[in-house]
Each structure stands twice: as structure tokens, then as C-alpha cells.
């Protein structure tokens, strides 16, 4: 088994309104930052897992994202995967 580190980005689909992002834009304008045009807030997940190989890790991650981390109706996701070095003493 190899060890992998995944960085997962879950974002709202472009057609879905983001009230939290709109609130941040409004808050920034009140603070004087009227140069900010748009804010969209998503999730950033760091996940470490073991798998036989990279294909198997990607397959597991797709299922994990679809079933637990993202809501496919309103969210998209993507991830980067890197193999972690085993630390030798």
C-alpha cells in the first residue's frame, strides 16, 4: 500500500447563488475595500489515504467526494493527488 495526500477543492456550481460570498463582498465594502468585485466561498479539504496505486486512490476519492464531501446537485469538486514519501529514520 502506498500513501497519498489529496487536496480537494469543493466549489459551488457557477449557477448557484452564494449568499455567504455576497455577505463578504458587502462586509468588505463597509470596511472600505470597494475594489473587491466577487467572492465565492468553497471548501478546501486535506485528506491522507492509503491505496494500492494512484488509479485506485483517484477512484476512492471520486466516490468519497460524490458521496460525502460534495453535494453533486449544487457543487463541483476537483482534487490534486501526491504520493507521500515514507519517512525513514
For its own copies, the binding residues (CB under 8 A) are: 1, 3, 9-11, 21, 24, 27-28, 31, 33, 35-51, 60, 63-64, 67-69
C-beta of 12: minimal distance to its own copies in Å? 10
C-beta of 32: minimal distance to its own copies in Å? 10
10 Å CB burial of residue 17 (0-12, 13-18, 19+) is exposed
> In degrees to the nearest 10, what's the CA dihedral of 75, 77, 66, 15?
20
Q: Which is nearer to its own copies, 48 or 88 (CB)?
A: 48
C-beta of 46: minimal distance to its own copies in Å? 5
Q: Which is nearer to its own copies, 1 or 87 (CB)?
A: 1
Query: C-alpha cell of 3?
Result: 500513501
Amino acid at each position: 500500500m502506498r500513501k497519498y495526500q489529496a487536496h480537494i477543492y469543493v466549489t459551488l456550481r457557477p449557477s448557484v447563488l452564494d449568499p455567504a460570498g455576497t455577505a463578504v463582498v458587502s462586509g468588505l465594502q463597509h470596511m472600505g475595500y470597494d475594489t473587491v468585485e466577487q467572492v465565492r466561498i468553497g471548501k478546501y479539504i486535506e485528506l491522507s489515504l492509503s491505496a494500492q496505486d494512484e488509479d485506485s486512490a483517484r477512484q476512492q476519492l471520486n466516490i468519497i467526494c460524490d458521496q460525502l464531501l460534495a453535494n453533486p446537485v449544487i457543487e463541483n469538486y476537483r482534487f490534486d493527488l501526491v504520493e507521500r514519501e515514507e519517512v525513514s529514520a
